[in-house]
Chain A
Amino acid sequence: MKMTSPLPPPGKEMGHYVSEAPFDVMSIEKISPEQEKIYLAPQWKLMWWKFRQHRIAVWCGVFLAILYATIFISEFLAPYNIQTRNVDNIYSPPQRVHLFHEGEFVGPFVYRQNYKLNMETLKREYTKDTSKVDKIRFFCTGDKYHWWGLVEMETHLFCPAHDGELFLLGTDRLGRDMFSRIMGGARISLTIGLLGVMVSFVLGIVIGGVAGYYGGWVDMVVQRIIEVLQSLPSIPLWLALAAIMPVTWSPLVVYFGITVILGLLDWTGLARAVRSKLFSLREEDYVMAAQLMGAKPSRIISLHLVPGFMSHLIATATIAIPTMILGETALSFLGLGLRPPITSWGVLLIEAQNINVVALYPWLMLPVVPVVLVILAFNFLGDGLRDAADPYK
């Protein structure tokens, strides 16, 4: 077959022309300013743009940020000290905040309530006295408290009238204000998840990293350990580990113990993710280059490999936090979690454990509301982060 190519026959000089004039590629393929912005944007910026698309995740992130901000000043935001017992107001139902008294605007206030013990049913009955108006005070002096257990203060954002009460969410069996206790419990409940995830994060990256980078028998051993840990149901493991902690430990040490337990049992999933990622990443040329330049494995893993999928890990960790918060409530339910006087949402829910509470004092179940909200928020935030983790997709 005869070739009909435009090429000249072999040996013959080619007629060849190259323009001397300067040539700008951009003049042919114009990039609009918007496109240029996208092409030149650093990775974190792309992630942020992608994350912003998930509206609910953004709102959940804002909600969580506010919530975490409140735990710094939770004593200030709560009207009562969390340990104050209002013995005259045991099992008081939530009081409603009013703005208008007899058609007249007086600002936020509650009506004074009168307490009577019904001698037939032995039920505590509270009646509203609509003639007495207890105005809520703002930036006021109330119960003494130790801010973070250090600085003694008595200023609150809002407090009850001078000889009145203010139980926005009712009181418990010792007459302690539920609203203040929920605010105070947030500090423990919100941090326990974070600390636990940090423990599991470090363990997961180190162990998974070593297994994925070295492979071979190291990987084999790590795989078996993960398999062993994952094959046991989590609640018995929690139980056993929690039972090891001596009863004599102070509640604060128990708190750290519980976080470590929650973290110790949760790293396996993360380690698996790290391992499988490393398996593919370690074959990349840049790893070879680093090795040839004499970088140590720890440097290659931490500096070159882990940043490559850090965003994925953070997304995974965000979704792990709710498990920890729920785990704390479950442990507390079994009587093996935190103990009073430490106040967490799980500890508060211990009070809501019997059917009487559901029937007579349903407001004792209110700590479940922040639990649900926080877990939902973390889940949506995690979903958004995961979508954003790979912005080049």
Chain B
Amino acid sequence: MLRYIAWRITVMVPTLLMISALVFAIIELPPGDYFESYVAELQAQGENVDLKAIEALKVQYGFDKPPVERYFHWVWGMLQGDFGYSFEYELPVTDVVGDRLWLTMLVSFVTIIFTWLIAFPIGIYSATHQYSWGDYGLTFVGLLGLATPNFLLALVFLYLANLWFGTSIGHLMDAQYFNQPMSWAKAKSILEHLIIPVIIIGTAGTAGMIRRIRANLLDELQKQYVITARAKGLHPFKALMKYPLRMSMNFFISDIGSILPAIISGAEITAIVLSLETTGPLLIRALQAQDMYLAGSFLMFLAGLSVIGVLISDFALALLDPRIRLQGAHTK
């Protein structure tokens, strides 16, 4: 086991290096840089631009150097915990992201719980009642959530909430609580604003979850041990919950890898429509404005999380399911 862990961690290094190169390429590839779009924006507003000052800024941030050099500078900085500087916010990247990170995690976490609460009963029902009307109907409802583009759902909810309750559901809290310290009133406001985004983002994810629970559980239910358990008179409920369900949960653990980054980045488009103070819109905006250190470091952070997530899920799988042997994985 120890050897395996060591091996996996060594493999992570080239992976992360590859990711960093890819991320850097992504933010470098679009023509121009932040200063060029900044100058263009200022000129469009009819303001005078001090090109000399801009040149000085470019030199200060190393934009006169070749990309390769900048890449190594960036990676070296990240290794020391310096994620760079956001030009647009004129703040270090960690400060820009920091505020929004907690809110994003809150939204995502509640969404995941919501998805599980809905998907589990439906998935189990569908698997035990395969090809029944209930199965079809519930799958249909789940798929409907998947099929509706999130931004449209968000718009309609915005409108309906305004019509029925007269409240604005945009943002994650009422306007008077922005930049205020945490208080009971603020927490209540956040919770109220949380409901709609959670429903919108959650509906998109439930269908996939239902389908996977159903498929995995169906596979398990066909196995011999379930028949044995039923034959020797185990209560049907126990014969479902205790063994097959537990075995069908494996996919759940292997999902950790993709869930971790999703918790941090959140559903970008929904967040844009509802103007939520999460990191998704920040990232999209940074990519569009070519605020390269903000975009790059944040993408790198997300990628790092998912690599760690995959690692954790592999270990967890091995610990929970004795049938999976890690050692076999790399001798082949």
Does A225 contact B144, Cβ atoms closer than 8 Å? no
Does B15 contact A224, Cβ atoms closer than 8 Å? yes
Bound-complex Cα distance A380 to B123 (A): 16
| Interface flag for A65 (CB, 8 Å) | no
Of the candidates A230, A240, A352, the one whose C-beta lies within 8 Å of that of B155 is A352
Of the candidates B144, B156, B283, the one whose C-beta lies within 8 Å of that of A358 is B156
Does A235 contact B302, Cβ atoms closer than 8 Å? no
| Interface flag for A363 (CB, 8 Å) | no
Does A358 contact B15, Cβ atoms closer than 8 Å? no
Chain B residues lying within 8 Å of A326, measured Cβ to Cβ, are: 147, 149
| Interface flag for B29 (CB, 8 Å) | yes
Q: How many whole Å from A147's CB to the nearest CB in chain B? A: 30
Q: Which residue of A lies closest to B290 (CB)?
A: A243
Bound-complex Cα distance A349 to B26 (A): 28
Chain A residues lying within 8 Å of B146, measured Cβ to Cβ, are: 322, 375, 379
Given A352-B155, A358-B156, does the pair A228, B19 have CB atoms closer than 8 Å? Answer: yes
Bound-complex Cα distance A51 to B147 (A): 23
Q: Residue among A231, A246, A329, A354 with the most chain B CB within 10 A?
A: A231
| Interface flag for B332 (CB, 8 Å) | yes
Does A227 contact B149, Cβ atoms closer than 8 Å? no
Given A232-B302, A232-B303, does the pair A372, B22 have CB atoms closer than 8 Å? Answer: no
Does A232 contact B299, Cβ atoms closer than 8 Å? yes
Q: Which of B242-272 contact A (CB under 8 A)?
A: 258, 261-262, 265, 268-269
| Interface flag for B288 (CB, 8 Å) | yes
Interface size on B, residues (CB 8 A): 49
Given A333-B269, A359-B159, does the pair A228, B149 have CB atoms closer than 8 Å? Answer: no
Bound-complex Cα distance A241 to B30 (A): 8
| Interface flag for B143 (CB, 8 Å) | yes
| Interface flag for B27 (CB, 8 Å) | yes
Chain B residues lying within 8 Å of A322, measured Cβ to Cβ, are: 146-147
| Interface flag for B241 (CB, 8 Å) | no
| Interface flag for B226 (CB, 8 Å) | no
Bound-complex Cα distance A326 to B267 (A): 14
Does B143 contact A231, Cβ atoms closer than 8 Å? no
| Interface flag for B101 (CB, 8 Å) | no
Chain A residues lying within 8 Å of B258, measured Cβ to Cβ, are: 230
Does B147 contact A372, Cβ atoms closer than 8 Å? yes
| Interface flag for B35 (CB, 8 Å) | no
Q: Which residue of A lies closest to B32 (CB)?
A: A243
| Interface flag for B295 (CB, 8 Å) | yes
Does A236 contact B143, Cβ atoms closer than 8 Å? no
Of the candidates B31, B140, B151, B265, the one whose C-beta lies within 8 Å of that of A353 is B151
Of the candidates A239, A352, A376, A379, the one whose C-beta lies within 8 Å of that of B284 is A239
Chain A residues lying within 8 Å of B261, measured Cβ to Cβ, are: 231, 233
Chain A residues lying within 8 Å of B39, measured Cβ to Cβ, are: none
Q: Which residue of A lies closest to B26 (CB)?
A: A240
Q: Which of A356-393 contact B (CB under 8 A)?
A: 357-359, 365, 368, 371-372, 375-376, 379-380, 383
| Interface flag for A215 (CB, 8 Å) | yes
Does B152 contact A334, Cβ atoms closer than 8 Å? no
Q: Which residue of A lies closest to B163 (CB)?
A: A359
Q: Which of A229-260 contact B (CB under 8 A)?
A: 230-233, 235-237, 239-241, 243-244, 246
Does A334 contact B26, Cβ atoms closer than 8 Å? no
Does A240 contact B287, Cβ atoms closer than 8 Å? yes
Given A230-B258, A231-B306, does the pair A375, B143 have CB atoms closer than 8 Å? Answer: yes
Q: How many whole Å from A13's CB to the nearest CB in chain B? A: 46
Does B15 contact A228, Cβ atoms closer than 8 Å? yes
Q: Residue among B149, B158, B162 with the most chain A CB within 10 A?
A: B149
Q: How many whole Å from B14's CB to the nearest CB in chain A? A: 7
Does A358 contact B29, Cβ atoms closer than 8 Å? no
Given A232-B19, A236-B295, A330-B269, does the pair A56, B143 have CB atoms closer than 8 Å? Answer: no
Does B149 contact A230, Cβ atoms closer than 8 Å? no
Q: How many whole Å from B160's CB to the nearest CB in chain A? A: 9
Chain B residues lying within 8 Å of A227, measured Cβ to Cβ, are: 15, 307, 310
Q: Which residue of B lies closest to A352 (CB)?
A: B152
| Interface flag for A355 (CB, 8 Å) | yes
| Interface flag for B76 (CB, 8 Å) | no
Bound-complex Cα distance A365 to B258 (A): 32
Chain A residues lying within 8 Å of B306, measured Cβ to Cβ, are: 230-232
Bound-complex Cα distance A371 to B151 (A): 13
| Interface flag for B194 (CB, 8 Å) | no
Chain B residues lying within 8 Å of A376, measured Cβ to Cβ, are: 140, 143-144, 147
Bound-complex Cα distance A233 to B262 (A): 8
Chain B residues lying within 8 Å of A380, measured Cβ to Cβ, are: 143
| Interface flag for B148 (CB, 8 Å) | yes
Given A231-B261, A239-B284, A349-B152, does the pair A355, B159 have CB atoms closer than 8 Å? Answer: yes
Interface string of B197-211 (1 = CB under 8 A from A): 000000000010001
Q: How many whole Å from A283's CB to the nearest CB in chain B? A: 11
| Interface flag for B107 (CB, 8 Å) | no
Interface string of A194-237 (1 = CB under 8 A from B): 00000000000000000000010000000011011011110111
Q: How many whole Å from A355's CB to the nearest CB in chain B? A: 6
Does A355 contact B155, Cβ atoms closer than 8 Å? yes
Q: How many whole Å from A290's CB to the nearest CB in chain B? A: 21
Does A236 contact B307, Cβ atoms closer than 8 Å? no
Chain B residues lying within 8 Å of A230, measured Cβ to Cβ, are: 258, 306
Of the candidates B27, B149, B156, B310, the one whose C-beta lies within 8 Å of that of A349 is B149
Q: How many whole Å from A49's CB to the nearest CB in chain B? A: 15
Given A330-B269, A352-B152, does the pair A228, B22 have CB atoms closer than 8 Å? Answer: yes
Does A243 contact B18, Cβ atoms closer than 8 Å? no
| Interface flag for B23 (CB, 8 Å) | yes
Chain B residues lying within 8 Å of A359, measured Cβ to Cβ, are: 159
Supply 25 A–B pairs (Cβ within 8 Å), ascending by A.
A224-B14, A224-B15, A224-B18, A228-B15, A228-B18, A228-B19, A228-B303, A230-B258, A231-B15, A231-B261, A231-B310, A232-B299, A233-B302, A236-B284, A236-B299, A239-B287, A240-B26, A241-B26, A243-B29, A333-B149, A358-B156, A359-B159, A371-B147, A372-B148, A376-B147
Other A-B pairs, 10, CB within 8 Å; known A233-B261, A372-B148: A215-B332, A228-B303, A231-B15, A232-B299, A236-B283, A322-B147, A358-B156, A358-B159, A368-B152, A376-B143
Q: Top 7 closest A-B pairs, CB basis?
A: A375-B147, A231-B306, A240-B26, A243-B30, A358-B159, A231-B303, A372-B147
